[in-house]
Structure 1
Amino acid sequence: MNIIFKKIIMTGSTYIEFDKAVSKGFLLIQKQVNPNFGLLIICGCNLGLRISDLLKLNFKDLKKDEFTIVEQKTGKIRTLQSNHHIKLALRYFEDSLSYKRGGKPFVSQKGTTYSIQQVNRLIKKYFSGNRISSHSLRKSFGRRVWEMNNKTDQALLYLSEIFNHSNTLVTRRYLGIRQEEIKDIYLNL
């Protein structure tokens, strides 16, 4: 009997476990391995922004309890809060001139703002996985919100609004929840 197996190609990025990502971010900051990138990881997981919007932030924004951006992709106004993770990470930058002047936090050693390609290379350097990219940070935020709210439909409604998705089914697919639920159906027969 000749069986043909089809290779299934997964597209899109996956999430990074939130605690692992935040820990890695703080490690990069505390050990002075790559503090600016460590801050990017922490902000990415805690703000849920697309990388294009994250790279536009500055220390002036992050130091505030609440700040507003205009999303590049959608043109929509979004109000964000700097939570305790971000505030704690910012303490390591208080003596820097860029921090004091409200400059750009996500800069390379050359002093230029990271490109999306640089961010993707660094993400792959610091995290393992085939489908890890800068977008993984945004998905980590989504998974954390969903888990912290007991995996409820209410959490998906919030995330659908935050991510500007048309409905919660899109959010389920985006976060990989739908595929996990379908997999569980087969495993629980």
Structure 2
Amino acid sequence: MSAKTNRGNNPKAGEVITVEPIKSVKDIATIKKLLADKPRESALFVVGINTALRASDLLKLTAGQVRTILADEDGGLVRESKTGKRRRVIFNKAAREALARLLATREFDAAEPIFTGQRGQMSASYLCRLVASWCESVNLKGNYGSHSLRKTWGYHQRVTFGADIPTLMDALGHSTQRQTLTYLCIQPEEIKSVYANEL
């Protein structure tokens, strides 16, 4: 894995590392195909790009929480690590299917995190390396990491599905529209697009 593709979670003092969303639907489909025979990795990717969960909250999901959310069309509440607030999580069809495949691989205790490694709950740094390796495998250029999953969700809600910025601000827990546009890496695109409009 090249240093250019994955710079990890350890920036130098004063440096901010910004990861990108996966903007191409074709690239997303290719990664899904790449992970099809790996239930854990497939569920990580699919749930990550289909919810607004931060990486830390994604990795903390327990089998009991997942079963509760899967059993209710209105989803379930998860406490955010960063804010301490409880937020509703709803799994769409793609996420439900990926999680069902993972849960079918073995018996999970209710309190057990569903995304585990050799030493228990998977770490965010390991997820960062996984995401970077998946993106490198499909020849994506740029900087990708664990946060790319949530950014991909937000980017496509706006660009592919046309969600409005106030809705995305709320879903992502942002305080300003500028923060949301910058976070999703679409502000320059949206500004450029208005110049193409003709009267």
Name the TM tier (shorter chain): 0.7 to 0.9
1:118 matched to 2:130? The reply is no
**Structure 2: which amino acid aligns with 1:179?**
P
Query: Which is richer in helix?
Result: 1
> Residue 37 of structure 1 aligns with which residue?
41
Consecutive unaligned residues in structure 2, runs of 5 or more: 1-14
Further displaced range: 43-52 or 111-120: 111-120
Partner residue of 1:106 out of 101, 105, 115: 115
Aligned-pair identity in percent equals 28
* Cα distance change of structure 1 residues 96 and 156 upon mapping to structure 2, 3 Å threshold: same
Distance 1:55-1:47 versus aligned 2 partners, 3 A rule: same
Provide the residue aligned with 1:97 in structure 2.
106
In structure 1, the gaps of 5 or more residues are 1-8
2:88 paired residue number: 79
**How many positions carry a matched residue from both structures?**
172
What is the aligned-residue RMSD (CA, Å)? Answer: 2.6
Shift of 1:93: 2.8
Structure 2 counterpart SS, 1:127: helix
Match of 2:57 in 1: 53
User: For residue 4 of structure 1, what is the aligned residue in structure 2?
Assistant: none
SS at the partner of 1:78?
strand
Give the superposition deviation at 1:72.
1.1
Q: Do the aligned residues in 1 keep the contact of 2:132 with 2:143 (CA within 8 Å)?
A: no
Correspondences of 1:1-189 after superposition (within 5 Å): 11-17=17-23, 19=25, 20-21=27-28, 24-25=31-32, 27-28=34-35, 30-32=36-38, 35-63=39-67, 64=69, 65=72, 66-99=75-108, 101-102=109-110, 103-108=112-117, 110=118, 112-128=120-136, 129-150=141-162, 155-183=164-192
Contact 1:44–1:141 (CA<8 Å) still a contact in 2?
A: yes
Task: Give the counterpart letter for 1:139 in structure 2.
Answer: K
The amino acid of 1:70's aligned partner reads R
Higher Cα Rg: structure 1 or 2? Answer: 1
